[in-house]
Chains A and B, each alone.
Chain A
């Protein structure tokens, strides 16, 4: 009996020691990843912050980076082209987001409807995957061809129903709208899938209770479905805003910001400024402005994630 108690005491004493060793091992295994993260994420981020407060004559092989304070930030807020691209990005992002949400919720309700044939809804879901498996750069080139005024299939099909040829991306007045259409085509399926997942995970009881209370389908949607989906929709809004403000690839391959500057969104301006015009320090400052714009939704998302994990 005494021996048994001694063993138990010994194992209890050993436990914290064992735990410490475990922690040490954890530190050992985490360190390479942590160092890699420092090199790959933190260092470039801090370096770009340093660059944003500097000047650098990149055309001169002996040119050195010199600190010059807020000059690059001042340049951003006095640069009409950059400010216009910020406004354009906001119009692009918020219009696309609203339309994606409306279509996303509608289609998700449709594909989860019990009244429709299961085979049909599965087929719709499979079709929705198509845009998501296409690389955005390829999608840009594809839509560039689709929008071609002379030989594009879109104008051809519209002409069959008597609608005259539209210049789409060739007209500064319709170019941004054309880009928004591509954005909707590319990323609405993502919204649909997330909302579909959300709808399928909702408890059935509130719907049954509403039915018993005599709620119409419309009332059920507004009073039950939407409030229950609220957390999912908020996450989608956050994720999409971050993505929309960072949109680059298909706009680059489809319009390269033209005609004129009608589709030049912020990321494209930053790219041109930094990579094409080699104003690396100015582009770094503009990137930090973009980062600050995206910080509130990112923090919100982080908070939501941590709160959920905390639970």
Chain B
């Protein structure tokens, strides 16, 4: 009888041990996560997949956790992730997320505050602009759902030699900027200005010209505020600066505009730095090596941040957070920046002299990042649709298909007609470093 009881007891203990071993999401410690496999969705056409694959090998040695990297281009990434989240599938445990998708996705992400507390992640190590704007919003009652990974904003690159030749100061206001373009027009064979002008790039320029006038785009409860003189000035300002651009600018996306500046055929470019900067100092791709500089543009660009999130439907949340924490460590963040061109979100990395040396124009780029903002209409369910339609409306204005006032009316009408119910908790803010 006694033997039987002991046998049963052993059997039950074994059974319990097996059960607890199967639960990879247990928070009890490192050894429980060994052998777990997590899937990480990454944007292709960046260097991140390559970097992650390298880092995953080291991570596996340290923790025993396997990381499977899945890649997709930006457009498809959004569609794949949203399908996975809406259908509660949990195919992707960890995802690189573009902040512009927050409105659609934030509620489907795992709240990270308990993990941050448990693994003692210090959010004060991040640049304020990221700490305040990225992976956190009033949508989730300011509970963090993402760890800032990388980000950038438009910087203004200009030709130092031409500015010296025409005795121009670096423009601090849009007015100075427009005047500089008029002066630079004298330089033969050089367009004074170039930037990407496809639909999707235009709203960013509108915001950059609108925001310095001091009024928000919306009221706190998302009533449009831009259909006025300030909005008209922003559109007219865009028309002015594009008068100095190559005529084909409406079909130029970000990489298409870069060669014009690299070939020395433009004096100023508003561009996203991580693709342009490395090319500028390379003699094979640039005719203007050492003749340029990068600064913050006269108006704040919007931040384009990416963060790392965990799906609410992931079965490996603990292992997923360990991986996120690993990627966010200072040395890995630095490697992602220096070796793979993904700007760090950590203060200490930007302060590192080796980083400043490795990233051409680093100081100007950092100033632009610190100066930029993130409008929370992007987190509104109607935000993405309004953004895309605003791009179309501005494109029509620039090609003189519609007048400035008609464009503003259209932008306002689009917001009001698309407007879905304001999500609970979300207020309109233009979030920045302060």
State whether the Cβ of B29 lies closer than 8 Å to any Cβ in chain A.
no
A279 to B389, CA, bound (A): 14
State whether the Cβ of A144 lies closer than 8 Å to any Cβ in chain B.
yes
State whether the Cβ of B214 lies closer than 8 Å to any Cβ in chain A.
no
**B248 x A260 contact (CB < 8 A):** no
Cβ proximity bits A286-308 to B, threshold 8 Å, 1 near / 0 not:
00000000000000000000000
Q: Chain A residues with Cβ under 8 A from B108's Cβ?
A: 61
B86, B247, B252, B312: the one contacting A165 at CB < 8 Å is B247
Q: Which of B372-419 contact A (CB under 8 A)?
A: 381, 384-385, 388-389, 391-393, 395-396, 399, 401, 418
A165 to B246, CA, bound (A): 11
Q: List 29 A-B contacts (CB under 8 A).
A: A59-B103, A59-B107, A59-B420, A61-B108, A81-B389, A148-B248, A149-B248, A150-B246, A150-B260, A165-B247, A169-B251, A170-B197, A171-B250, A172-B395, A257-B199, A258-B251, A258-B395, A259-B197, A259-B399, A260-B392, A260-B401, A261-B392, A264-B392, A275-B78, A275-B79, A276-B78, A276-B385, A278-B82, A278-B381
Nearest first, the 6 closest Cβ-Cβ pairs linking A and B are A149-B248, A170-B251, A259-B250, A277-B385, A170-B248, A260-B396
Count residues of chain B with CB under 8 A from any CB of chain A: 39
With A149-B246, A165-B248, A171-B250 known, 19 other A-B pairs at CB within 8 A are A61-B108, A144-B251, A147-B251, A148-B256, A151-B259, A167-B248, A170-B251, A171-B399, A175-B251, A255-B251, A258-B250, A258-B395, A259-B251, A260-B199, A260-B395, A260-B401, A264-B392, A277-B418, A278-B82
Q: Which of B127-146 contact A (CB under 8 A)?
A: none
Q: Which residue of A lies closest to B191 (CB)?
A: A150
A144 to B250, CA, bound (A): 12
State whether the Cβ of A256 lies closer than 8 Å to any Cβ in chain B.
yes
Count residues of chain A with CB under 8 A from any CB of chain B: 34
Q: Chain B residues with Cβ under 8 A from A279's Cβ?
A: 385
Q: Chain A residues with Cβ under 8 A from B79's Cβ?
A: 275
Q: Interface majority SS on A: helix, strand, loop or mixed?
A: loop
Q: Which residue of A lies closest to B383 (CB)?
A: A277
Q: Which residue of A lies closest to B246 (CB)?
A: A150
* CB of A128, distance to nearest CB on chain B (Å): 28
* CB of A161, distance to nearest CB on chain B (Å): 20
A272 to B388, CA, bound (A): 9
State whether the Cβ of B72 lies closer than 8 Å to any Cβ in chain A.
no
A114 to B82, CA, bound (A): 58
Q: Which of A171-187 contact B (CB under 8 A)?
A: 171-172, 175
Q: Chain A residues with Cβ under 8 A from B78's Cβ?
A: 275-276
**A150 x B248 contact (CB < 8 A):** yes
A170 to B246, CA, bound (A): 11
B107, B265, B388: the one contacting A61 at CB < 8 Å is B107
Q: Chain B residues with Cβ under 8 A from A276's Cβ?
A: 78, 384-385, 388
Q: Chain B residues with Cβ under 8 A from A169's Cβ?
A: 251
Given contacts A150-B246, A260-B199, contact A59 B395 (CB under 8 A): no
State whether the Cβ of A17 lies closer than 8 Å to any Cβ in chain B.
no
A58 to B251, CA, bound (A): 32
A150 to B261, CA, bound (A): 12
State whether the Cβ of B170 lies closer than 8 Å to any Cβ in chain A.
no
* CB of A43, distance to nearest CB on chain B (Å): 15
**A170 x B252 contact (CB < 8 A):** yes
Q: Chain B residues with Cβ under 8 A from A250's Cβ?
A: none
